[in-house]
Amino acid sequence: MAGVGQLHLGTPFLPSASIRGRSSGGGGSRRLTTRIQAKIREIFMPALSSTMTEGKIVSWVRAEGDKLSKGESVVVVESDKADMDVETFYDGYLAAIMVEEGDVAAVGSAIALLAETEDEIPLAKSQASSSSSPAASPRAAETPVPPSPSETAPEAVSSPPPSPKSSQAAVSSTHPASESGRRIVATPYAKKLAKDLKVELGSVAGSGPMGRIVAKDVEAAAAVAAAAAPVSSVPPKSISDSAAVKAPASPAIQLGTVVPFTTMQGAVSKNMVESLSVPTFRVGYTITTDALDSLYKKIKSKGVTMTALLAKATALALTKHPVVNSSCRDGKSFTYNSSINIAVAVAIDGGLITPVLQDADKVDIYSLSRKWKELVDKARAKQLQPHEYNNGTFTLSNLGMFGVDRFDAILPPGTGAIMAVGASQPSVVATKDGRIGVKSQMQVNVTADHRVIYGADLAAFLQTLAKIIEDPKELTL
């Protein structure tokens, strides 16, 4: 399944065996034999990232009673980083859904039951009804679902205690998210948008993974239906791309309401608080970009992006200053990372994620640009795999396309440094011969972990970076 996050999950048998005694011979001793009456497995909520403690059910891809094959997607789960399709590890029947769409379950708790045969479905439903596991919390049922960001997610299965809502669903053969028995798979934001724009999801063709309906599909359908004021369908903006500065149009905010964090917003909040425990400092530098701008104009038609150029320049500078690419996690030691993986901040609806350009120092600029475009597309579709966003060794954050000339970035936990890039703007400067001239310059500010990286380290790194950017022929080698 290309472009779709997949996770195989082993599920243990529920204790549903009976023990019967048999006589061995006339007056012989009795011996016990165990006979399994049914094979009913719990499907658990998996840990889709190292920081995930709970996950939200975005949508059930299959309905109760459906026959499943090993490796088939069953449910889409929103983790703290992305949406992922979860696969079953066994053949069988989806007997009972225990956590409904929009509800939350703790990692390791059960969200559904899988029966080996169709005859065992009633027993599984009975067990689901009597389950008392407190894993699910119906957040979405209590408050409107805000635009929820998530990039690619593997599937996860588990069985939390069913709420009255899920008990009712177990009795019906048609899942609530279906129309006339046909499954309608859409992201939470797409569903909310469809309701606000009065668009029937059954008439919308999904462009997401496995035909999932995403926000832009709903917006497009609304624009066609209302041949008047079209709905803005500007995609989520990469913080380091200059193309979509505007966020997608969203329904009016209800002032005075309290809105709970999405899973991703909760993760961002946790990381930001954690970063306060790291002693950081900042160093700024002014870099002339005339040569880089000229190079970009020459090779832009070949698919090269400015983000890739900045990432490549940064990576090449880091090869000469490995301490700036290092990281300290335990406060007692630090690691000289063996790879230079440049994470670039990308803003998506309701959150932030950092796709990673791995081995950026070794990949040519054209391949790096293609990879970046692929990562951005996957981030917008919430289809990034964990290894594509959680192994960065140095981070870039660019607000230049918004006209921001300088800013400070917060250091992501577990990394040594992050560089904030401002806009390149014409500046009046003095030339070497004492004359006045105009050059394009940008401000960069690096925030670093002072336990590992010192001021002289950053100053030397920034000098090297400036030389590469001001004479960028090395970027296309």
Both tokens assigned to 165:
């809502």
* Among 8, 175, 321, 450, the one annotated catalytic: 450
Q: Smallest Cα–Cα separation from 414: which of 72, 51, 57, 77?
A: 51
Count each helix (H run) and each strand (E run) in the chain, helices first.
Answer: 10, 25
DSSP string, 96-162: EE-S-TT-EEETTSEEEEEESSGGGHHHHHHHHHH-----EE-HHHHSPPPP---EEEE----EPPP
DSSP tag of 468: H
Is 395 within 8 Å of 344 (Cβ atoms)?
yes
- Please tell me the distance from the alpha carbon of residue 46 to that of residue 110, in angstroms, as a whole number: 10
Based on the residue annotation, tell me whether 450 is a catalytic residue of this protein. Answer: yes
Q: What is the CA radius of gyration of the chain?
A: 27
- Please tell me the distance from the alpha carbon of residue 111 to that of residue 104, in angstroms, as a whole number: 9
- Please tell me the distance from the alpha carbon of residue 458 to that of residue 338, in angstroms, as a whole number: 19
Just list the catalytic residues. Answer: 450
